[in-house]
Amino acid sequence: MTSFAELVRYLAERFLQAGIESAALDARLLAAYAAGFSPEETVTKRDAALPPEVLDRAVEAARRRFAGEPVSRIVGAREFWGMPFGLSADTLDPRPDTEVLVEATLAWCRKHDLAGAPLRILDLGTGTGCILAGLLSELPNASGVGVDRSEGALRTARQNFARIGLDSRAFFLCGDWGDALADATFDIITCNPPYIETGDIAGLCPEVRDFDPLLALDGGKDGLKAYRDIVPQASRLLRVSGLLIFETGHRQARLVRDMLTELDAGFQTEIFPDLAGIERAVAGVRQSGGDGGRGKKKVGNPIGSG
């Protein structure tokens, strides 16, 4: 009978022959998925003989990988901020770069001694709920609301929060950005909106184009439609001195920053790079003045810890 280690070697060789760059990692993850092994068991049971049904599952998983489906979609989960998040056809596959939003928000909380405060967090376009869950896991007295236009995405988010034990501190609403929250105000608003230009979607890598939901990708002709819809709502939904933070696409960060600084409520802003050094997140702290920031003294690094 074939052992787990032999199955990993076989899959890795086949993936490498198919030109899959992450052949060794994909082979290990898919073999573990087929066998139902935990990360620890992939080491302690590497020589264990596998029954035929496991091999059948591995073959089917490999077939899907050859067809371009991402490993996370095949296994149905992705790790984000050290926690596993279930995926569905209605949710984006969380990327490591999105953790920048969590890191920057936590830095702002620490700087202003708010890590233990009863903060109210709004996550627009919540998807799997990964951003909101990352924050609630680090802010023990905070609570949150996740909003999404997709009922399917909200079902996935609720399941994720129940699985990781955060469901008592959050609830989820179906709606178009902040429209369903007429009278609510929040201390923090986070958002990873669709920001791909419509004309660029056909050229995306197959793992994104063919498996992430179009609703979560298409940002309109210039990729900025969602920001134009959301930014005017920020003054209504965010308390004075509260934090608004967006994920942005390539070459969009400064355009989104300009939208914030032009608001009548006035925002002091900062841009954060991702792991590759690309400007990935725009954060703004709402000011008490009503002149949209015009004529206001600029304050260096108002959000981060340094």
Residue 60: half-sphere exposure toward Cβ, Cα within 13 Å: 11
Tokens 């793992």 belong to residue: 207
Q: What is the mean pLDDT of residues 250-257?
A: 96
Q: What is the mean pLDDT of residues 110-126?
A: 97
Task: Please give the residue that has the higher pLDDT: either 266 or 163.
Answer: 163
In this structure, of 164-168, 267-271, 277-281, 299-303, the range with the lowest mean pLDDT score is 299-303
The pLDDT tens digits of the residues spanning 7-36 come to 999 999 999 999 999 999 999 999 999 999
Q: What is the mean pLDDT of residues 55-73?
A: 97
In 45-95, which residue ranges form alpha helices assigned H by DSSP?
Answer: 52-66, 71-75
pLDDT at residue 303, rounded to an integer: 61
Q: Quote the pTM value.
A: 0.91
Integer Cα distance of 110 and 84 in angstroms: 25
Q: Quick one: which of 174, 80, 175, 169 has its CA closest to 128?
A: 80
The domains found in the chain, sorted by start residue, are: 4-75 (1.10.8), 82-286 (3.40.50.150)
Q: What is the mean pLDDT of residues 264-286?
A: 92
- 8 A C-beta contact, residue 46 and residue 4: yes
- Exposed (0-12), middle (13-18) or buried (19+): which is 16, by Cβ within 10 Å? middle
pLDDT at residue 278, rounded to an integer: 95
Q: What is the mean pLDDT of residues 110-137?
A: 98
